[in-house]
Chain A
Amino acid sequence: MTLKINNLTGGYSRIPVLKDISFEVGDGQLVGLIGLNGAGKSTTINHVIGLLVPQKGKITIDGNTLMDDPQNYKSKIAYIPELPVLYPELTLREHLELTMMAYGLETTSAWQRARVLLQTFRLENKLDWFPAKFSKGMRQKVMIVCAFVTQAKLYVIDEPFLGLDPLATRDLLNLIAAEKKRGAGILMSTHVLDTAQEYCDHFVLLHEGRVRAQGTLEQLRDLYGDLNASLTELYLGMTQDVNGNE
């Protein structure tokens, strides 16, 4: 198992946003984290990448928690934030170099991977530009390239499709598929439910800080009692169901 979250309770202040969340991301698995705005997707991700400390419960990657060995824990994660975060004073080439240094990658092979990635996302002639001045979609691509060059054990991807052109979306999905084959686990939060339904192996439906349901699409359909329902229908049905009970 790559990522394991056990009974996680946490949030930004004393009042927890997340209540008793448990799920797993296995090797070679793509897990979709689905939820409305404010359901706790980003909070969960912030806990996983170690920006927040659990109030209760435990998060482990390959059996390690953040507290046990922060360097080891962090070297296994590659993160693509929802909004691109770039250094205003570094060029694209230097962003890649920095990533390689930070993760301690072997440079020759890392650059080979980087070249392929840059070509895929049509950035190969922009190496000496400042990416902080790119458009939203281009900056997002830079984040993707920097993340995938690391060949991390676990990818944490926050809402990747917004701002990407259709070609880049396809390329990203291909990349994710390739990394799955390599054995990496991927946790992806998204609102684009059609795409999620098509590509994710496993779903975690968050609602108001709790796991409303989880499993494969078939399992979710069983749970809901409609064997032909789409993920959108399932999701809307389940969240409104909860609202109705309250």
Chain B
Amino acid sequence: MNKIWENRLKKYQKMLLHYSKFVLNDHFVIALLFFVGGLGLAYSNFLQTLPAHPFWWEKPLVLILLVLFLRAGSLATLLQEPDTVFLMPQEHNLPLYLKRAVAHSVLLAEFFQLFFLLLLLPLLSRGLHLGQLAVGILGLTQLLLKYFEMHFEAQSAYISNYEHWNFKVLRIIAVPLIVQGLVLYVEPLAGFLVVLVIVGLQFMAAKKTAQHYVFRWNKMVELESNRMMRLYRFINLFTDVPQVSGKVRRLRFLDRFLPHAKRDGVFSYLYWRTFLRKSDFSGLYLRLLLLGSCLLLFIPNFWLSFVCILVFQYLIGFQLLPLFAAFEDNVFMYLYPLEKSDQLEAFKLVLRKLLFGSWFFFNLSALIALGISWNYLILLIASMLEIAVFTGNYLTKRLGENT
């Protein structure tokens, strides 16, 4: 089992390294540098303005941040679906495997926690005026809390009750909130002792679980594949990941908006259904739409809005391009007596309608932020022109080559 874990970890890290090339490409790194630099500057300016006597909201803010930070880093078991069959006979050795997995995940997660604590340090000492000892205890408490959370999660491999929402609330919100609340509001040492006792109890309970419960293969494999999917989906924003194929949901309430079956409508029939029901496409559209609209609401500068609208529209259009080839691997697309050129036309129409939707919401946000003016008219026309070009010549050129 040790061997299996080591092999898996090696493969997993190799995969991460491989994709990090694409994620950390030049553009992204430069953008990130600017972003982090700007944020850091804002943070340090903000710290300068803090008075000697802390504002009333500083403590709650720190508390919430601490609890939120605990969400970083999750349990990576690296279990795979075929394991339920192939590793079944090794179940008695599984605790050994899990132990390695938890140890690895905890180490990584604690590293993240340290990083966050370092970021929070100036706020703690300058804002809340905590002493070195208090800060140290707070840090240790935070690390122990993360340790508690990860172990609790690992225990749910055996105890199905832990999956229940009240246990989740306990693990994710209640315990961290109470413990760090004690540290911040009452007495640092008290919070630290509480979490120490909790971890100790947990340690004792964990020794028995593997003997009394059965390993929940399906649940654990599902959790792990969910985690991998989250990772892949993130990477998928930068490059194509073969494993990403989103879930399909019926969304019956949307049925009435779908085009009905009629002659010559094969492709639009397929495109609209695929778009709405496959979370890959509809989720992406919705995310970008929301993000863009929200961003535009807070941009008071015309030129910034101008660039933002054009970029977001382009992003939506560009990211939806894979929809064109969504059913290329279905033999029947080649068997049906259909004209290949109809496909491109149908796709253009679908994309145009979707982009008009985003056009409306983006410009509405811009209107609220900028107010009506001649400049605003330029915004409307420029973004409309972009759609016309994108779903016109651009698509013909880009997709026409393959057909």
Interface bin, chain A: 20 to 34
Is A57's CB within 8 Å of the partner chain B? Answer: no
Q: Pick the residue among A50, A87, A128, A132 that contacts B334 (CB under 8 A).
A: A50
Is B335's beta carbon under 8 Å from chain A? yes
> In chain B between 285 and 324, which residues have their CB closer than 8 angstroms to a CB of chain A?
none
Expressed in whole angstroms, the Cα–Cα distance for A210 and B154 within the complex equals 59
**Residues of B within 8 A of A (CB-CB), count:** 23
A85-B331, A98-B261 are known contacts. Are A71 and B338 too (CB-CB below 8 A)?
yes
Among residues of A, the one whose C-beta sits closest to the C-beta of B326 is A89
Cβ of B248 and Cβ of A88 under 8 Å apart? yes
8 A Cβ contacts from B259-287 to A: 261-263, 265-266, 269-270, 273-274, 277-278
Given contacts A87-B327, A90-B273, contact A74 B335 (CB under 8 A): yes
Cβ B248 vs Cβ A130 within 8 A: yes
Is the pair A104, B335 in contact by a Cβ cutoff of 8 Å?
Answer: no
Residues of A within 8 A of B338 (CB): 71, 74, 102
A88 surroundings in chain B (CB, below 8 A):
248, 278
A98 and B331 form a contact (CB under 8 A) = no
User: Which listed residue (B250, B266, B332) contacts A130, Cβ 8 A?
Assistant: B250
User: B328 at the A/B interface (Cβ < 8 Å)?
Assistant: no
Give the shortest distance, in Å, between A128 (CB) and chain B (any CB).
8
Known A89-B248, A103-B336, A103-B337; contact A51-B261, beta-carbon cutoff 8 A: no
Interface string of A167-198 (1 = CB under 8 A from B): 00000000000000000000000000000000
Smallest CB separation, B220 vs chain A (Å): 22
| A47-80 interface (Cβ within 8 A of B) | 49-51, 70-75, 77, 79
Of the residues B278, B332, B339, contact of A89 by C-beta under 8 Å: B278
B330 sits at the interface (CB 8 A): yes
Query: At the interface, yes or no: A163 with Cβ under 8 Å from chain B?
Result: no
Please determine whether A79 and B335 come into contact, CB atoms closer than 8 angstroms. yes
B278 contacts across to A, CB distance below 8 A: 88-89
Chain B nearest CB, measured from A6 CB (Å):
22
**What chain A residues lie within 8 Å of B263 (beta carbons)?**
101, 104
B335 lies within 8 A of A101 (CB):
no
Q: Contacts A94-B273, A97-B261, A98-B269: A85 and B330 contacting too (C-beta < 8 A)?
A: yes
Please, which residues of chain A bring their CB within 8 A of the CB of B248?
88-89, 130, 132
Tell whether A98 pairs with B250 under 8 Å between CB atoms, given A74-B337, A77-B335.
no
* Cα–Cα, bound, A79→B330 (Å): 12
Asked if A81 lies at the interface with its beta carbon under 8 angstroms from chain B, I say yes
Is B266's CB under 8 angstroms from A102's CB?
yes
**Residues of A in contact with B (beta carbons under 8 Å apart):** 49-51, 70-75, 77, 79, 81, 85, 87-91, 94, 97-98, 100-104, 107, 128, 130, 132
Beyond known contacts A74-B335, A98-B270: 17 more, CB 8 A cutoff: A49-B331, A71-B337, A73-B337, A74-B338, A75-B337, A85-B331, A87-B327, A87-B330, A88-B248, A89-B248, A97-B269, A98-B266, A101-B261, A102-B332, A103-B336, A130-B250, A132-B248
List 21 contacting pairs A-B, 8 Å CB cutoff, sorted by A: A49-B335, A50-B334, A50-B335, A71-B338, A73-B337, A75-B337, A81-B331, A85-B331, A87-B274, A89-B278, A90-B270, A90-B273, A94-B269, A97-B269, A98-B261, A98-B270, A101-B262, A101-B265, A102-B338, A104-B263, A104-B337
